[in-house]
A and B are shown apart, each in its own frame.
Chain A
Amino acid sequence: MLDGIFLGLSTALSLQNMLMVVAGCLIGTFIGMLPGLGPMSIIAIMIPVAINIGDPATALILLAGVYYGAIFGGSTSSILLNAPGVAGTVATSFDGYPMARQGKAGKALTIAAIASFTGGTIGAILLIIFAPMLSSVALLFHSAEYFSLMIVGLSAIAAFAGTGQVSKALLMTVLGLIMATVGETAQFNAPRFTMGLMDLQSGFGFITLAMAMFALPEALYLVLKPSRSAQGNGGVIKDLRITGDEAKKIAPVITRQSLQGFFIGVLPGAGATIASFLGYAVERNIAKSAEQKEFGNGSVKGLAAPETANNAACTGSFVPLLTLGIPGSGTTAILLGALIALNVTPGPRLMVDDPQIFWSVIISMYIGNVVLLILNLPLIPYIAKVLAVPRNFLIPFILFFTLMGAYIGQNNATELLILVGFGIFATILKFANYPLAPLLIGFILGTMLEDNFARSMNLYDGAAFVWERPMTLGLLIVSLLLVVLPSYRARRARLLLSRGANGV
């Protein structure tokens, strides 16, 4: 194995390949910042270029750089514009955008960069050491476990159920779950709830909905309620540095989420999105109750958790791809296609037959993370300046990219009508003080929840999987604890307080 690592190191460190990593990271970051262009479309765009390079190791190094850059770029638009272009960065906007609104955009981007770097780096190290052994971990989960993992993910919603908001958050979640049932799913060969509209047959598009729920209402809100924009973006990007206190707060979060995110990424049915929601849920629910209140209002922990987890998970998703030839996500599926076009067949034999490819890819991931950090830290003040653009220029700009993002992937003008319709609906909900994040979480997790549940029911001829599979039961108990424990602790604290006040 050591031979392989050195072989990979020398391949990855060649001048040409280093240039590829840098180029890939830059391309990925800048295109990834545009909402609507996630890693999947950017990689798809770059594939002809990669194939023309010819050398599989170099091509893959370029694509891996693009992949990381795109994910990092995606968090930038989540933080600055509340416009998550990929499902994996939705959770980033929960606390990243409030921070930006408080004038801490620079700090938020710095935390995101450091969290991404650490998550990706720890992921790459785990990959180097454990990749060959991890292929069995990737096959540990059956549909039943994926189902219960989605339930754990849904418990992230508790974070939005602030005081008096529980029923509203639940309502929005259910609405999101209902919206996920529109169109054809893996379980039925007939369209559901499409009202006879052909454009709904594939269901609602994620990007359309994310733009409609997050970016559009935010832009409209700024127009309709100008007072709100007075705070924060006065054009000054202060607080670029992280204070020692904050560093102390996020260090354990980043460590935990690097590991947790990586292992969730290894599972082919989970991936970066689930990892980010789970990261957010877990960190929120184990935080002290005073810190819990900050979640959703610009908590540094709430930003660091999903950012670390989604990057670690992206690295983790290379385990099933390289060792089993199984793509865990749309993006890795496209990468697999590129590999096959380059005459490389990923699988158990890749490490034996083409060690220089296997190891140079893993090592270039590590280098890619370093390059991203070096490239991006100095750029942050300039990127954050986007918010210093006067409102009457910024808002049309956001609206333009929002509409473009929804249109570009599908070339379907109906998406624009859906976007505007839901955008107005979401703006009304926002004025009525309904949290919109639970809706999107419900929508994203809904399909996977339903598919895995239906598969498990079918495989076990009923709900027997809950008690016949100990891991399923365990995960369900964890999700129950994640929801119940915080409220139990809060209740106890209140009780103790009132007792103290009564002098008992």
Chain B
Amino acid sequence: MTLKIGRRAIIAAAAAIGLSGPVAAGGHQVVESIHFLIPGGAGGGWDGTARGTGEALTAAGLVGSASYENMSGGGGGKAIGYLIENADSQHGTLMVNSTPIVIRSLTGVFPHNFRDLTLVAGTIGDYAAMVVDADSSINNMSDLVAAYDANPSGTAIGGGSVPGGMDHLVAAMVMEAAGKDALNVKYIPYDAGGKAMAALLSGEIKALSTGFSEAVALAQAGEVKIIGVTSDERVAAMESAMTMKEQGIDTSFVNWRGFFAAPGLPEDKLAMYQDAIAKMYETPEWETVRARNGWVNIHNSGDDFMTFLQSQEKVIGDLMKKLGFL
């Protein structure tokens, strides 16, 4: 999501600009070179993911050299179109993308969807979380649902995405799973994660739907309480944060980031890329990049990635229909 200059994007971007690591010419090089196509401008979340991954791959010697190209336009749609139109000459290119490709393809903002591309691998992800002000009387999800029952229009939930965007869908998904009508939930959109956080602390909104890694940073600073995480089990980064599931709200959600290649990519090339990425997780170089950016390893390669995307598309599609966005 390059459109929002939120913490999530920036954390990833901060370290990764303009670094292409020196080549450690090890004997285990898997791919000669990769050209990373970044569908947004420099400094966004996609940019950080591509450059961080490229840095780890080259520094670990799995890939000989990496180059990067920022192609913004159409909120990412331009780069997808470019990769499809020039598929034959783009066999050396990997494009980074994330959850919005699913959402935006559903709404028709992108004329293409992930099936039009070759799926390489989902590499990292972040869970979503609901947070409230540290001084709030709300302590868990059932408090939030009770507050909503008492005064639906006074219990506004904010987020850093447009209505129908990721933060809204997570809020709707959670309230729906708690047995409420997601249509009546008042969602207030902000154009950046920081502004949404300011609105939460100023009391303009009662709860905030945001990324888990961002929420952890603020919870550790004592500013917010995490009242629910959309993971299946508690996450090591903050063991005290309860999952939605253990509070009886049966829902889970991962905001993934991963890599795609041009349609019609030869099988052997695809296998090579997947092999390089799979081996990357074992390297200390990747661990450095991952830790620096606070990413969570969520590796889905090839067919697993397709299954994952299809199920995410179904869940999000159903919800968006219900909310009237489709």
**With A184-B162, A333-B5, A337-B10 in contact, is A328–B71 under 8 Å at CB?**
no
Interface residues of B in 214-273 (CB under 8 A from A): 217-218, 220-223
**A334 neighbours in B (Cβ, 8 Å):** 5, 10, 13-14, 43
Q: Are B72 and A326 in contact (CB under 8 A)?
A: no
Q: What 1/0 flags go to B197-210 for Cβ under 8 Å of A?
A: 11101111100000
Q: What 1/0 flags go to B143-171 for Cβ under 8 Å of A?
A: 00000000001001000001111000000
> Bound complex: CA of A329 vs CA of B3, how far in Å?
14
CB < 8 Å: which of A138, A143, A189 contacts B107? A189
**B218 neighbours in A (Cβ, 8 Å):** 325, 347
CB < 8 Å: which of A139, A185, A199, A268 contacts B78? A199
User: What's the least CB distance linking A248 to chain B, in Å?
Assistant: 40
Interface residues of A in 260-300 (CB under 8 A from B): 268-269
Q: A194: nearest residue on chain B (CB-CB)?
A: B74
CB < 8 Å: which of B43, B162, B186 contacts A189? B162
Q: B81: nearest residue on chain A (CB-CB)?
A: A198
Q: Does B6 contact A (CB under 8 A)?
A: yes
Q: Are B72 and A411 in contact (CB under 8 A)?
A: yes
> Bound complex: CA of A188 vs CA of B165, how far in Å?
9
Q: What 1/0 flags go to B1-18 for Cβ under 8 Å of A?
A: 001011100111111011
**B74 neighbours in A (Cβ, 8 Å):** 198-199, 201-202
Q: Does B195 contact A (CB under 8 A)?
A: yes
Interface residues of A in 132-173 (CB under 8 A from B): 138-143
**27 chain-A/chain-B pairs, Cβ below 8 angstroms:** A41-B42, A44-B42, A44-B43, A48-B15, A51-B15, A138-B198, A142-B203, A142-B204, A185-B162, A269-B195, A325-B217, A325-B223, A326-B197, A326-B201, A330-B5, A333-B5, A333-B7, A333-B192, A336-B7, A340-B217, A341-B11, A341-B293, A345-B217, A347-B218, A409-B42, A410-B72, A455-B188
Q: Are B15 and A139 in contact (CB under 8 A)?
A: no
Q: Does A498 contact B (CB under 8 A)?
A: no
By size class, the interface of chain A is 35 or more
Q: Are A338 and B14 in contact (CB under 8 A)?
A: yes
CB < 8 Å: which of A141, A332, A346 contacts B202? A141
> Bound complex: CA of A349 vs CA of B71, how far in Å?
39
Given A45-B18, A189-B109, A201-B73, output 9 extra A-B contacts at Cβ < 8 Å.
A189-B162, A201-B109, A325-B217, A326-B197, A328-B198, A348-B222, A455-B189, A458-B156, A461-B153
Q: Are B14 and A47 in contact (CB under 8 A)?
A: yes
Q: Does B302 contact A (CB under 8 A)?
A: no
Q: B189: nearest residue on chain A (CB-CB)?
A: A186
Q: Does A2 contact B (CB under 8 A)?
A: no
Q: B192: nearest residue on chain A (CB-CB)?
A: A333
> Bound complex: CA of A340 vs CA of B6, how far in Å?
13
Q: Are A345 and B192 in contact (CB under 8 A)?
A: no
What residues make up the interface of B, taking CB atoms closer than 8 Å to A? 3, 5-7, 10-15, 17-19, 41-43, 69-75, 77-78, 81, 107, 109, 153, 156, 162-165, 186, 188-192, 194-195, 197-199, 201-205, 217-218, 220-223, 292-294, 325
Q: Are A347 and B222 in contact (CB under 8 A)?
A: yes
Q: Are A186 and B5 in contact (CB under 8 A)?
A: no
> Bound complex: CA of A68 vs CA of B189, how far in Å?
31
Q: Are B72 and A269 in contact (CB under 8 A)?
A: no
**With A189-B162, A333-B5, A347-B222 in contact, is A139–B198 under 8 Å at CB?**
yes
**With A48-B18, A338-B14 in contact, is A324–B189 under 8 Å at CB?**
no
Q: Are B220 and A345 in contact (CB under 8 A)?
A: yes
The 8 residue pairs across chains A and B that have the minimum distance between CB atoms? A347-B221, A337-B14, A198-B74, A337-B10, A189-B164, A139-B202, A186-B191, A327-B194
User: What's the least CB distance linking A70 to chain B, in Å?
Assistant: 15
Q: Are B221 and A349 in contact (CB under 8 A)?
A: yes
Q: Does A102 contact B (CB under 8 A)?
A: no
**With A334-B10, A347-B223 in contact, is A411–B71 under 8 Å at CB?**
yes
**B107 neighbours in A (Cβ, 8 Å):** 189-190
Q: What 1/0 flags go to A322-364 for Cβ under 8 Å of B?
A: 0011111010111011101100011111100000000000000
Q: Does A486 contact B (CB under 8 A)?
A: no
User: What's the least CB distance linking A177 to chain B, in Å?
Assistant: 17
CB < 8 Å: which of A269, A327, A341 contacts B15? A341
Q: Are A187 and B13 in contact (CB under 8 A)?
A: no
Q: Are B223 and A44 in contact (CB under 8 A)?
A: no
Q: B3: nearest residue on chain A (CB-CB)?
A: A202
> Bound complex: CA of A330 vs CA of B292, how far in Å?
21
Q: Are B188 and A184 in contact (CB under 8 A)?
A: no
> Bound complex: CA of A287 vs CA of B13, how far in Å?
45
> Bound complex: CA of A45 vs CA of B41, how far in Å?
13
CB < 8 Å: which of A202, A269, A328, A337 contacts B13? A337
**B71 neighbours in A (Cβ, 8 Å):** 411-412
**A189 neighbours in B (Cβ, 8 Å):** 107, 109, 162-165, 325
**B189 neighbours in A (Cβ, 8 Å):** 186-187, 451, 455
**B18 neighbours in A (Cβ, 8 Å):** 45, 48
**B14 neighbours in A (Cβ, 8 Å):** 47, 51, 334, 337-338, 340-341
Q: B186: nearest residue on chain A (CB-CB)?
A: A458
Q: Are A202 and B73 in contact (CB under 8 A)?
A: yes
User: What's the least CB distance linking B133 to chain A, in Å?
Assistant: 10
> Bound complex: CA of A27 vs CA of B15, how far in Å?
20
> Bound complex: CA of A185 vs CA of B3, how far in Å?
10
> Bound complex: CA of A268 vs CA of B107, how far in Å?
31
Q: B320: nearest residue on chain A (CB-CB)?
A: A189
Q: Are A459 and B75 in contact (CB under 8 A)?
A: no
User: What's the least CB distance linking B296 to chain A, in Å?
Assistant: 16
CB < 8 Å: which of A48, A139, A333, A350 contacts B201? A139
Q: A50: nearest residue on chain B (CB-CB)?
A: B14
Q: Are A324 and B186 in contact (CB under 8 A)?
A: no
**B15 neighbours in A (Cβ, 8 Å):** 47-48, 51, 337, 341
Q: B43: nearest residue on chain A (CB-CB)?
A: A44
Q: Does A69 contact B (CB under 8 A)?
A: no
Q: Are A201 and B17 in contact (CB under 8 A)?
A: no
Q: A411: nearest residue on chain B (CB-CB)?
A: B70
**A142 neighbours in B (Cβ, 8 Å):** 199, 202-204
Q: Does A191 contact B (CB under 8 A)?
A: yes
> Bound complex: CA of A345 vs CA of B224, how far in Å?
14
**A350 neighbours in B (Cβ, 8 Å):** 221
> Bound complex: CA of A412 vs CA of B75, how far in Å?
12
Listed residue (A202, A325, A333) with the most chain B CB atoms within 10 angstroms of its CB: A333
Q: Does A435 contact B (CB under 8 A)?
A: no
Q: B134: nearest residue on chain A (CB-CB)?
A: A348
Interface residues of A in 187-221 (CB under 8 A from B): 187-191, 198-199, 201-202
> Bound complex: CA of A330 vs CA of B218, how far in Å?
19
Listed residue (B194, B203, B218) with the most chain A CB atoms within 10 angstroms of its CB: B194
User: What's the least CB distance linking B109 to chain A, in Å?
Assistant: 7
